[in-house]
Chain A
Amino acid sequence: MSLASATRKGAGATAPAAPPVQQLLRRKRRRAAARTLAFLSPWLIGFSVFFLYPLISTIYFSFTKYNGFGSPTFTGLKNWDYVFNDLPAFWQGLRNTLWLVVVMVSLRVLFGLGIGLLITKIKSGVGLFRTFFYLPYLAPPVAATVAFAFLLNPGTGPVNHFLGEIGLPQPGWFSDPDWSKPALTLLAMWGVGDLMVIFMASLLDVPKEQYEAAELDGAGPLQRFRYVTLPNISPIIMFAVVTGVIQTMQYYTQAIVAAKVAGGNAGNSGQQFEPGYPSGSTWTLPQMVYNLGFQRFNYGAACVVALVLFVISMAVTSVLLRRRSGFMASDD
């Protein structure tokens, strides 16, 4: 970190100045550097202790065999070989994550946009509707997942009861490997409030004149959406997609709670919970880090999976940084 070195302030004006002025400026520069450092100090510590150090350690552990007792022993690429070649669950987790990225993220963005559009069209009771639509986003993930596990319980849940009454097929939801991810997607769409608000704000920001001009040109509602709305909000869609992908890389709580509750052995002593229930269909990479590290105590392999997760997350983040220079905007 060269943050402390000097500030740019006044640097341009120093060149031909007389010694006393130079001295004064140097002192001023040093003071400014000290001030910057002081303001940044909490985070500098946080960054080193809670990011840099554990990241380097994770890399180190990924090349060792370590089970928490004794000390790590260097084993070269053995853990990497194990995770990539002998741990089928790893690829299953990766495939599940890809499924969630493709289906869950896109459905959530489309649904959020739809609800955002709907809100801007509502004439009566906007405030009430907005609150209703937003509320589920606030439900703590564990509570929301437990509630959905109840609603979607194949035996006693109201959803399947209702589906049966109107003669529709009754899926096994969280208990059926083919339906567990769709059930999680439904849960994610229920909590779409954050996207709704973002889309709503950006839709209201679209200049009215553009719509009026399009209307004068004889554009119908669909054309107006295509040629006026979309170009205006496309950066927000991009933002929603990228942050959605990043959130999905971290997808953990809902998947693990759904699996535990539906798997039927949440918290039963002596029984270890079966991760990814049913049939590994809800495995995600973060869960695998937990399972390998804190249930199987294979820290080395857990660190390999953690690093894969890190590389993917940072790759997606760099897309976000490149596409949205606004992220890095400054006022000078």
Chain B
Amino acid sequence: MTLSSTLPAEAPGKRPSRGTARGPVTAAARTARRRALLNWVAVHSLAVAAALFFLLPFVFAFLTSVMSDGQALTTDYWPTSWNWGNYGKVFNTPGFLTWWRNTLLYAGLGTVLTIVSSLPVAYALAKFRFRGRNLALTAVIAMMMLPPQVTIIPMYLFWAKQLGLGGSLWPLIIPMAFGDAFSIFLLRQFLLTIPREYIEAARIDGCGELRTLLRVVVPMAKPAIAAVALFQFFYCWNDYFGPQIYASNNHDAWTLSYGLESFKGAHHTNWNLTMAATLLVMAPVIVLFFFAQKAFIEGVTLTGVKG
């Protein structure tokens, strides 16, 4: 963390300091400048401290991940030898690649299905006028706030006992073809901001509702769709409860989040391997974030501010 070394000396001076342009610097202006400098130092020291709090866990996890088996059990901070092979060992763990494939399938397919099924619903809730619309919206919000554990017993019996889909991820993927409450809500909030005139114009041009949605609304809602897609992808990627219920008794259907915990179980105090696996599970999410930072932050803002 060499951030503190980037202190630009002129930064405080950029503040408007009236009266300094001509003649001798007055005492008042000097005090103001000093206060601004102190303020700058205080803010940035706090920021560096906060950055340490947020980043050190990653740093420690990384340093441990390259330690030897023996050293990982000690309280050392710094690795004496750099064992990059630990990452290879993790990849060679039986099942690790299967977990990757399953997670990608769950997150990828789940995201596509969610967008396709949620967009028309969000559009209808935002732009159609019909009786019961508020009721429908309330129901969407209720569903969004519902802890998944509330309905898990009947849902499990339905999927596993009636449809025989236990031991797979399908009970988690299929429902996403029928709209996801959070995505519907978020998309609707965004679609509200699209001026009605655009849609009316498309209608006058003779577009049907579906074509209006695809040709006019979708292009305008791209940022929101991207944000919702990211959220959904992350949700699936991170999901632990779902795979634990439906996929846990079939090793071939495990996801990374679920497998990581059992990895910890099997390599109890091989903290080096566990940390390497942990970072490998985090990595794709973080890479994705760097590519789509803007869409992501916009999405988060949308949940809270544009309500």
A residues adjacent to B (C-beta < 8 A)? 1-3, 5-9, 32-33, 35-36, 38-40, 42-43, 45-47, 49-51, 53-55, 57-58, 61, 68, 115, 118-119, 121-125, 128-129, 131-136, 138-144, 146-148, 150-151, 153, 156-158, 161, 190, 193-194, 197-198, 201-202, 205, 236, 239-240, 246, 249-250, 252-253, 256-257, 260-261, 264-268, 285-286, 289-290, 293-294, 299, 302-303, 306-307, 309-310, 313-314, 316-317, 320-321, 324, 326-332
7 intermolecular pairs with C-beta atoms under 8 Å apart: A39-B120, A42-B118, A51-B143, A150-B61, A194-B303, A253-B241, A293-B152
Query: Considering only CB atoms, which chain B residue lies closest to A8 in the complex?
Result: B129
CA distance A138 to B54 in the complex (A): 12
Q: Which residues of A contact B297 (CB under 8 A)?
A: 134, 197
- Chain B interface, number of residues (Cβ within 8 angstroms): 109
**Partner pick for A201 among B74, B157, B240, B304, CB 8 A cutoff:** B304
A331 to B179, Cβ gap below 8 A?
no
**Partner pick for A156 among B55, B75, B238, B305, CB 8 A cutoff:** B75
Q: A50-B151, A150-B271, A198-B300 are contacts. A257–B129 as well, Cβ < 8 Å?
A: no
Interface SS of B by simple majority: helix
Q: Which residues of B contact A239 (CB under 8 A)?
A: 304, 307
CA distance A122 to B45 in the complex (A): 10
CA distance A36 to B131 in the complex (A): 10
Of the listed residues A293, A309, A326, A330, the one surrounded by the most CB atoms of chain B closer than 10 A to its CB is A330
Q: Which residues of A contact B138 (CB under 8 A)?
A: 321, 328
Query: Considering only CB atoms, which chain A residue lies closest to B307 in the complex?
Result: A326
B285 adjacent to chain A (CB < 8 Å): yes
Q: B223: shortest Cβ distance to chain A, in Å?
A: 14
Q: A198-B305, A239-B307, A286-B149 are contacts. A42–B120 as well, Cβ < 8 Å?
A: yes
Contact residues, B55-86 vs A (CB, 8 A): 55, 57-58, 60-61, 64, 72-75, 77
Query: Considering only CB atoms, which chain A residue lies closest to B208 in the complex?
Result: A35
Query: Considering only CB atoms, which chain A residue lies closest to B259 in the complex?
Result: A142
Q: Which residues of B contact A150 (CB under 8 A)?
A: 60-61, 64, 271, 274-275
A332 to B175, Cβ gap below 8 A?
no
B50 adjacent to chain A (CB < 8 Å): yes
A125 to B3, Cβ gap below 8 A?
yes
Q: Which residues of B contact A122 (CB under 8 A)?
A: 43-44, 47
Q: A141-B240, A252-B149 are contacts. A39–B73 as well, Cβ < 8 Å?
A: no
Q: A142: shortest Cβ distance to chain B, in Å?
A: 4
A289 to B152, Cβ gap below 8 A?
yes
Q: Which residues of B contact A286 (CB under 8 A)?
A: 147, 149, 241
Q: Which residues of A contact B282 (CB under 8 A)?
A: 138-140, 143-144
B232 adjacent to chain A (CB < 8 Å): no
CA distance A118 to B130 in the complex (A): 45
Q: Which residues of B contact A326 (CB under 8 A)?
A: 307
B27 adjacent to chain A (CB < 8 Å): no
CA distance A257 to B263 in the complex (A): 12
B97 adjacent to chain A (CB < 8 Å): no
B240 to A142, Cβ gap below 8 A?
yes
A332 to B129, Cβ gap below 8 A?
yes
CA distance A139 to B240 in the complex (A): 13
Q: Which residues of B contact A201 (CB under 8 A)?
A: 301, 304-305
**Partner pick for B304 among A123, A190, A202, CB 8 A cutoff:** A202
**Partner pick for A142 among B11, B47, B261, CB 8 A cutoff:** B261
A317 to B155, Cβ gap below 8 A?
no
Q: A49: shortest Cβ distance to chain B, in Å?
A: 7
Q: Which residues of A contact B136 (CB under 8 A)?
A: 1, 3, 40
A118 to B128, Cβ gap below 8 A?
no
B46 to A143, Cβ gap below 8 A?
no
B64 to A2, Cβ gap below 8 A?
no
Q: Which residues of A contact B120 (CB under 8 A)?
A: 38-40, 42
CA distance A132 to B268 in the complex (A): 30
B266 adjacent to chain A (CB < 8 Å): yes
Q: Which residues of B contact A125 (CB under 8 A)?
A: 3, 6, 47
Q: A61-B154, A132-B55 are contacts. A49–B304 as well, Cβ < 8 Å?
A: no
